[in-house]
Amino acid sequence: MDVISVIRAKRDGHALGPEQIDWVIDAYTRGLVADEQMSALAMAILLNGMDRGEIARWTAAMIASGERMDFSVLDRPTADKHSTGGVGDKITLPLAPLVAACGAAVPQLSGRGLGHTGGTLDKLESIPGWRAQLSNAQMLEVLGDVGAVICAAGDGLAPADKKLYALRDVTGTVEAIPLIASSIMSKKIAEGTGSLVLDVKVGSGAFMKSLDDARELASTMVGLGTDHGVRTVALLTEMSTPLGLTAGNALEVRESVEVLAGGGPEDVVELTLALAREMLDAAGLPDADPAKALADGSAMDHWRRMIAAQGGDPDAELPVAREQHVLTATATGRLTRLDAYDVGVAAWRLGAGRARKEDAVQAGAGVELHAKPGQDVVAGQPLLTLHTDTPEAFDYALASLEGAYDIAAPGSDEAAAHRPTPIVLNRVS
């Protein structure tokens, strides 16, 4: 085998054979294929695609590059969830302890934010003492005791994907559906969960902008999970408007705790319950009632135990940004649009996100929403509050919010015709 032949084959639109795929993934993992050569292959895949057989083999080769975890010693079924990323997407935080409270074990391997999308680990690290890095033995111990764990993937899990993910991010190939699908599913299958629910975001704040692209990605990932013996289902969910009323790290933790306490924004509660029901059904627990677990406090109890088991103090005060700036409504009428991408970029520029994986984030930075599309606003009332420790970032963040929202005049046809988009747009199984 030689990498030039593999690159040329995909460049010219040919399907890669199993031996070619196995060889190139193994060689890249071991450093025998250079980054610039894998970049060329990734771009060829972005432009020419892969068929289902190629994607399945590519995924299997990435799984084979590292270890596989085994949760068969647990006394309960396992269920995991993965989101393709969005703005204000804090669902994992209340979801994992909620599903655990209903009888399933949730081995949630999560990541960090990059660009306008937030990262679950960054959010949880705003809790004093909480740690993301656990050994496999520690992860299994927390799962056995609490029923839920949220942590970083170990270095031994799909190391080929770890290298390729970082490369895709800096070479303009993140959007390649075969590479997105194989990246997500190689880690999830290697993780060893028995069932998986995928939250595939659709809209301006998501990587998949159109419903058709999101459906293609969801179908590809569901097929990969099924082919590897993991019961997999996907929900396509709305991400043109930020989820909930916050985008940031500590801000989103506070909102998640509100949900666990029986309150919180309606859209966050709705999506949390929808995903919980799918996870419990996939785990063979269709009669469990997640709404009851929220109402009776058992989900909150599991949250507190989960945080404490990873060194965090669930009673500690969360960080608060030193500076705030209020953006007010420019007109009176009905808010008909609040763009998720623009809000995500503002939160990123305020310090809640990172441009490079090595960058630090501010725990208290982010954007707080005071109104959502469909609500009436009055000129001069607070629309968004910006939070940061670095006030020089306000102008940069405000620039991203120019044109981020629309307000329809009272009584206008546009105001009357506006209808909120459903949270769950479709289901793929």
> Which residue among 161, 199, 267, 339 is the active-site one?
161
Known catalytic membership, residue 339: no
> Which residue among 10, 57, 82, 116 is the active-site one?
82
Question: Phi first, then psi: what are they for 268, rounded to 5°?
Answer: -65, -45
> Which residue among 10, 116, 168, 349 is the active-site one?
168
Strand bridging mode 148-152 / 106-110: parallel
> Which residue among 116, 187, 201, 334 is the active-site one?
187
- Asked whether the CA dihedral 260, 262, 264, 265 is positive or negative, the reply is positive
Position 301: which residue type? D
Name the packing angle between helices 250-260 and 266-282 (round to 10°): 70
Pick from 160, 162, 166: nearest CA to 152: 162
Question: Phi first, then psi: what are they for 109, rounded to 5°?
Answer: -90, 120
CB-count burial class (<10 Å; 0-12, 13-18, 19+) for 13: exposed
CB 199 within 8 A of CB 235: yes
Known catalytic membership, residue 168: yes
The torsion of the CA quartet 269, 117, 85, 52, rounded to 10 degrees, works out to 170
Q: How far apart are CA 244 and CA 211, in angstroms?
A: 21
| Adjacent-strand bridge partners of 309 | none
Q: Pinpoint the alpha helices (H) of 159-265.
A: 159-169, 177-191, 211-227, 250-260
> Which residue among 182, 183, 204, 240 is the active-site one?
183
Q: How far apart are CA 412 and CA 93, in angstroms?
A: 40
Q: How far apart are CA 143 and CA 218, in angstroms?
A: 28
Known catalytic membership, residue 82: yes
Q: Pinpoint the alpha helices (H) of 310-419.
A: 340-347, 394-400, 413-417
Q: Pinpoint the alpha helices (H) of 50-170.
A: 52-64, 92-101, 120-124, 136-146, 159-169
- Alpha-carbon distances of 392 from 160, 247, 274, 347, rounded to whole Å: 39, 19, 40, 14
| Residue 263, C-beta contacts closer than 8 angstroms, at least 6 positions apart | none
Catalytic machinery residues: 82, 161, 168, 183, 187
